Structure 1
Amino acid sequence: MSKYLYSHDVSEEVRRKVRIFVILVGACFLVLWMRVWYLQILKGENFETLSENNRVRLVSLPSFRGKILDRNGTVLASIRPSYNLYITPEDAGNLNQTLRTLKRHLDFDIDRVLEDARTSRPFKPVLVRADIDRTVVAFIEENNRILPGVQIKVEPLRNYLHDHLASHLMGYLGEISEARLEAMKDADYMMGDMIGQYGLELFYESELTGKKGYKEIEVDVAGRQLRTLRKLPPQSGRNLVLTLDYEVQKVVDKLMTGTKENPIVGSAVVMDVTNGEVIAIVSKPDFNPNLFARGITLEEWRQMQSASHNPLQNRAVNGVYPPASTYKIVTAYAAMEEGIIQEDTKYKCPGFFSFGPRKGRFNCWKRSGHGQVNLYDALVQSCDVFFYHIGYELGVDRIAQYARQMGLGDFTQVRMNGERPGLVPTVKWKTTTQRGLWLPGDTIAASIGQGYNLVTPIQQARLISAIANGGKLFRPILIKQIKDKDNQVLTAPVPEQVAQLQPRTHVLDVIRKALLGVVYDKKGTGRRAGSRKIKVAGKTGTAQVVALSALTKYEEKEDIPFEFRDHSWFVGYAPYDNPKIGVAVILEHGGSGGKVAAPLVRKIIEAYNKVNTLDKPSTPDGLPPEMAGTSRESGRAVKDI
């Protein structure tokens, strides 16, 4: 070559070009050599790690969520295996083609999967569909060679064993949001994880969730697992033991369901009067939390949102209603404490009450009047005029003072979503929020639980429990114990008394005697609550939702539109001589409290007595003389309010 270059036959120009070519080739080899040195010597260890990461994957192992049990150990929520289908975009080859193949055998949203794949890391598995059928599992396992990147993971799925039972208490799970993930970045969560969104699942998320495990696996070029290299097992969450009694809850739920043609809308709360433990709590309509556990579809969510009467609303703590005549307990208590009346004080009820210089007039529910009545008679027969008199003399602010002492107008602090405090109106409240003067008629309406007054069912259950137990107001308790996976008790919440009524010695006795008469006296409005098995005391309430003048155009009660009908209340406790449970029932637009809610309370108390014997059967022989010989059937002519 060099001999040729220096021969006389080769021009100087050619020689120059050849030398440049040789230099360029040499430079290329030098660059290649330096690149090899950089990759293998200087960065060799790093690239070896990257290669290993392509071959080795770190897989998260979900923890087993803790169980939820009733007070007697009946499992209400546990976990079951769920076959979940994933695809890893990096291993899938032609992602669109693989998804179309799956679509022929399984219904899922391809666009959603593609979007998830686009916004996540290529080696991160993307959920295609949760809880797939066994037949689909078999197809995928048989055809895994033509489905690169597709894998099935057997993961724990929350399972509510009794579907809708106590759904508002149990709550539900949902996929963690980006905002919540950011707020909980120090916790062990990642996108796609299921987390408590409502109810106990939300409030006790940290107890129930457990701790994830991890494993290192070796995979082939298609992303299929070859072997497990290392493994750190997950830790199970803790178990919640509720104060709820499954057997009682089941009966209350059934009683509050109604029929397909006439479903009940309302709530029932059963409480242990001695400590505030919630024995049963029902809100109707309800929902099935299993829909959320497996991943609710957009269509299912829309149906739930558009369903009549909002099944997601927890009426036990979030529904507010006029207390109606159940509030007469409060007015009676306030009047006796303030010395407005004594046990034997009487007022004449001509069927109406006139007041003021213009002779404003409020009618009693019984237009013919009750005649001369004392406090016992007024509570037993629910005479409005008696309470108009004492409410007018008390004034609304004094009534409100005692209502608040009895836990109304404030949160009970129960650990449930969306609790509302209700409303105990005062003169200042109206002038501040309604920009109007408080009128005498407002006081008269408030004295019988109408007007602006609003209460929740759980407040009512606590109030009647306080009447029964001597004035103790407890914070409602939902959790009896928290246990580990080995059934060892970690925490046992103690009853929390938040207030103590301090009435004169005889005040509660007078009221309790009258509440017994409501149920067993021949003139009592709540006789349908009377049981031959256990002695019950209580108070009826029928809450107007529209002015009576709006109903005059309807000839029959059945013609009144559902939304215009009265709400039906009954609050009661049993047994009378040794109180154990307090019950509050509200049926929206159910009508008469004595006719509709009262018999439900009787059935609830009898159901509880069947499971947990309250007392020896008490018969009318044990009743006061004026009530002896009465029965609920003999009182049909009495108007129940």
Structure 2
Amino acid sequence: MVWRSDFDPVETEIYQKRLTKVTFLVLIVFGVLFVRLWFLQIIHGAAYRAESENNRIDLRDVIPFRGLIFDRNGHLLVDNRPSFILGVIPENISNLDGLLTDLCRLVEIDRGTAKTKIQRALQGNPFRCVYLKKGLTRDELARIEAHILNMPGVTIEVKPQRHCIYGTLAAHLIGYLGEIDREQLGRKEYDKNKLGDFVGKCGIEKKWHRYLNGTRGGQQVEVNASGRILKVLYQKEAEPGANVFLTIDKDLQMLAENSLSNKVGAIVAMDPRSGEILAMASSPTCDPNDFAKGMDKRVWERLVSNPYFPLQNRVISGQYPPGSIFKIVVALAGLEEGVIDPYEKIFCGGSYTFQGREYRDWKEGGHGFVDLHRGLVESCDVYFYKMGQKIGIDTIAKYAKRLGLGRNTGIQVGDEQPGLIPNKAWKLKRWHVPWQDGETLSVAVGQSFALITPIQLVRFVSALFNGGILFRPRVTKRVEGDGNKTIFEFKPDISGYWDLNEENMELVKKALFGVVNEPRGTGWRARLHRIGVAGKTGTAQVIALPKDRESVEEEDIPYKFRDHAWFVAVAPAENATIAVAILVEHSGHGGAVAAPIAKNILAGHFKR
């Protein structure tokens, strides 16, 4: 038997050599991997663990663009501009006091305020960015960027910032933004806001905040230890706010504000046919842009300590004696009650003695014989002293309230004040003393206790020339959402009717036309060529000067004791499209100071 074998020693040797090589290569690969793992885990393990811990997933808000604000003709008044904002993530701060020291050296911030904000966030949501300063300048930005790697927790964000294109234009009407407070957070109109947001604080910005604000979006991001975004993992876009169109005319508003340059006072223009406000100016004023970037404490202190109250909207909250404009009320009350015979002539010799006291006329020597028409045209005090005495304070007050004075007009914005129309019951309640008959004479010429706002007077004179309709003044024309879709469109809103005899109203209207256009009319400085203007002057006493000082020049009287100048007007008188009320504080006589301003406003309106 023959045994046969397939074993080949040569092939076996070759196979073993190959296996040895493969084994060696595998050992090398595993050796390299082992060394690499040892290097990562042992040598740099702590560093990589720290980096891994420092990189985390954050949820960031995407702030919506606030809605724009336009004038009645579509001219843009308020938009948004990109702003660099200094912020900190409290959770990432290792040394708060040291960080604040560094930041205060680089930029101007209030250390105490910044520390309070950060400490509150640490107790609440330490991962939420706390904003310390908006509107960083290029120099401030460069200084922070140069040191940011040495300041853990500091971040720079770019967000939209409110921007009033024309600075102070219509500032009191537009209003301003400020950081939301805890009281506002609990209210419905701020339910889309969080701490740190800037929201409307007054004016249109506050009135329509819910619509202007928009809806915030969000980002899921990976950030490093300094809070810088490494990667956006998910984003929900923010929805911009709705746009608001005002009733004011930009050019007329500019003219009104320029007319009050270096003066203290108010101008308001209204369309008598609808109650739309065409211009609303109050002086002095402020710049809403200062608020949008975060009001500097020193600037704020200067504003609130200013003796001329630049934050006050005098159109709706300035309360002044109406002066001789109130004679219109007395005339209408007397005619309606049958107390005044419009054609009866009364002699004015320059003063009227009542109950042993002399009540002087503004015109030394008097006006001679005057009837109702001349009494209004020349603004004869003696005529209205006598008419006021006949009518009585309670009847005068009843008609004043009925005609819309001494009560709020219902305008959409601001802290409107009601003014004051006194009567016997008011004085007894307020001062615990009875009304004196002589006080009625003072009220009849717009002095003493009576107080009126400019918005009340422009609505009052509008009603006289539109047939007795009291419109609620409006400053918003419409609100538009995405794709120019109308959310609100406002129509004329009638809040009352005078219900007076038309003949009586015509008598007064003709007299007011004469104030501007007839000889000896006190408002002749408001006269326009080819356009019939009707109006009434008013000079409101701040204090009564002794008789021996009545001839003193205005500039020799201390400023705070000088008279206020009033003028109200409508044009064209036969079919009025505009009514104005002008008030200039401590400036003298209405005919000399306020009437020329009214002329400029009316002329500007009709040139458009």
Residue 83 of structure 1: CA displacement? 0.6
SS at match of 2:464: helix
Given the alignment of the two structures, is residue 292 of structure 1 paired with residue 295 of structure 2, yes or no? Answer: no
Number of matched pairs: 554
Residue 529 of structure 1: CA displacement? 0.8
Given the alignment of the two structures, is residue 589 of structure 1 paired with residue 590 of structure 2, yes or no? Answer: no
Q: Distance in 1 between matches of 2:218 and 2:562?
A: 59
Q: Is the 8 A contact 1:352 1:364 kept in 2?
A: yes
Deviation string 1:89-136 (CA, Å, 9 cap, x unpaired) is 333444444444444432223443333222213322222321112244
Q: Is the 8 A contact 1:256 1:284 kept in 2?
A: yes
| Compared CA separation, residues 112 and 328, structure 1 to 2 (3 A) | closer
Partner of 1:341: 340
SS at match of 1:597: helix
Partner of 1:571: 568
Gaps of at least 5 residues in structure 2 are 1-51
Residue 245 of structure 1: CA displacement? 0.3
SS at match of 1:423: coil
Q: Distance in 1 between matches of 2:65 and 2:204?
A: 16
Gaps of at least 5 residues in structure 1 are 1-50, 258-262, 612-641
SS at match of 1:165: coil
Partner of 2:269: 270
SS at match of 2:159: strand
Q: Distance in 1 between matches of 2:140 and 2:358?
A: 73
Deviation string 1:217-239 (CA, Å, 9 cap, x unpaired) is 01234433221111111111111
Q: Distance in 1 between matches of 2:394 and 2:181?
A: 46
Letter in 2 for 1:68: I
Residue 361 of structure 1: CA displacement? 2.9
User: Which of these residues, 208, 212, 221, is aligned with residue 212 of structure 2?
Assistant: 208
| Compared CA separation, residues 384 and 301, structure 1 to 2 (3 A) | same
| Compared CA separation, residues 132 and 265, structure 1 to 2 (3 A) | same
Letter in 1 for 2:65: F
Given the alignment of the two structures, is residue 157 of structure 1 paired with residue 161 of structure 2, yes or no? Answer: yes
Q: Is the 8 A contact 2:567 2:594 kept in 1?
A: yes
SS at match of 2:565: strand
Q: Distance in 1 between matches of 2:555 and 2:100?
A: 57
SS at match of 1:273: coil
Q: Distance in 2 between matches of 1:58 and 1:288?
A: 35
Q: Is the 8 A contact 1:370 1:383 kept in 2?
A: yes
Given the alignment of the two structures, is residue 387 of structure 1 paired with residue 391 of structure 2, yes or no? Answer: no
Partner of 1:310: 309
SS at match of 1:506: helix
Given the alignment of the two structures, is residue 252 of structure 1 paired with residue 251 of structure 2, yes or no? Answer: no
Partner of 2:472: 475
Partner of 1:76: 77
Partner of 2:60: 59
Partner of 2:174: 170
Q: Distance in 1 between matches of 2:140 and 2:357?
A: 75
Q: Distance in 2 between matches of 1:599 and 1:173?
A: 36
Residue 364 of structure 1: CA displacement? 1.6
Partner of 1:125: 129
Q: Is the 8 A contact 1:140 1:147 kept in 2?
A: no
Letter in 1 for 2:180: I
Given the alignment of the two structures, is residue 425 of structure 1 paired with residue 422 of structure 2, yes or no? Answer: yes
Question: Please, which moves more after superposition, 84-93 or 474-483?
Answer: 84-93
| Compared CA separation, residues 572 and 185, structure 1 to 2 (3 A) | closer
Q: Distance in 2 between matches of 1:185 and 1:160?
A: 23
Q: Is the 8 A contact 2:402 2:498 kept in 1?
A: yes
Q: Distance in 2 between matches of 1:91 and 1:461?
A: 58
Q: Distance in 2 between matches of 1:498 and 1:185?
A: 26
Q: Distance in 2 between matches of 1:122 and 1:377?
A: 75
Q: Distance in 1 between matches of 2:235 and 2:577?
A: 52
Residue 511 of structure 1: CA displacement? 0.8
| Compared CA separation, residues 136 and 572, structure 1 to 2 (3 A) | same
| Compared CA separation, residues 222 and 250, structure 1 to 2 (3 A) | closer
Q: Is the 8 A contact 2:54 2:224 kept in 1?
A: no
| Compared CA separation, residues 499 and 594, structure 1 to 2 (3 A) | same
SS at match of 1:594: helix
Partner of 2:26: none
Question: Please, which moves more after superposition, 360-369 or 272-281?
Answer: 360-369
Q: Is the 8 A contact 2:256 2:279 kept in 1?
A: yes
Q: Distance in 1 between matches of 2:113 and 2:555?
A: 50
Question: Please, which moves more after superposition, 136-145 or 394-403?
Answer: 136-145
Question: Please, which moves more after superposition, 455-464 or 120-129?
Answer: 120-129
Given the alignment of the two structures, is residue 491 of structure 1 paired with residue 488 of structure 2, yes or no? Answer: yes
Q: Distance in 1 between matches of 2:530 and 2:53?
A: 75
User: Which of these residues, 177, 184, 197, is aligned with residue 180 of structure 1?
Assistant: 184
Question: Please, which moves more after superposition, 235-244 or 186-195?
Answer: 186-195
Please give the residue correspondences for 1:183-198 in structure 2 after superposition, counting only pairs within 5 Å.
183=187, 187-198=191-202
Q: Distance in 2 between matches of 1:403 and 1:167?
A: 31
Q: Is the 8 A contact 2:55 2:224 kept in 1?
A: no
Q: Is the 8 A contact 2:79 2:164 kept in 1?
A: yes
SS at match of 2:519: coil
| Compared CA separation, residues 554 and 560, structure 1 to 2 (3 A) | farther
User: Which of these residues, 462, 465, 484, is aligned with residue 462 of structure 2?
Assistant: 465
| Compared CA separation, residues 450 and 140, structure 1 to 2 (3 A) | closer
| Compared CA separation, residues 554 and 579, structure 1 to 2 (3 A) | closer
Q: Is the 8 A contact 1:534 1:606 kept in 2?
A: no
Q: Distance in 2 between matches of 1:221 and 1:451?
A: 69
| Compared CA separation, residues 186 and 458, structure 1 to 2 (3 A) | closer
Please give the residue correspondences for 1:593-604 in structure 2 after superposition, counting only pairs within 5 Å.
593-604=590-601
Partner of 2:375: 378
Partner of 1:412: 409
Given the alignment of the two structures, is residue 518 of structure 1 paired with residue 512 of structure 2, yes or no? Answer: no
Q: Distance in 2 between matches of 1:385 and 1:97?
A: 76
Q: Distance in 1 between matches of 2:564 and 2:205?
A: 31
Q: Is the 8 A contact 1:533 1:606 kept in 2?
A: no
TM, length-normalised to structure 2: 0.88
Q: Distance in 1 between matches of 2:335 and 2:503?
A: 10
Residue 179 of structure 1: CA displacement? 2.4
| Compared CA separation, residues 481 and 428, structure 1 to 2 (3 A) | same
SS at match of 1:366: coil
Partner of 1:240: 244
| Compared CA separation, residues 449 and 545, structure 1 to 2 (3 A) | same
Q: Distance in 1 between matches of 2:469 and 2:226?
A: 68
Percent identical among aligned pairs is 40
Letter in 2 for 1:264: K
| Compared CA separation, residues 95 and 508, structure 1 to 2 (3 A) | same
TM-align CA RMSD: 2.0
TM, length-normalised to structure 1: 0.83
Letter in 1 for 2:176: Y
Residue 307 of structure 1: CA displacement? 1.4
Residue 341 of structure 1: CA displacement? 2.0
Partner of 2:89: 88
Residue 380 of structure 1: CA displacement? 0.6
Given the alignment of the two structures, is residue 363 of structure 1 paired with residue 360 of structure 2, yes or no? Answer: yes
Letter in 1 for 2:543: V
Question: Please, which moves more after superposition, 171-180 or 593-602?
Answer: 171-180
Partner of 1:623: none
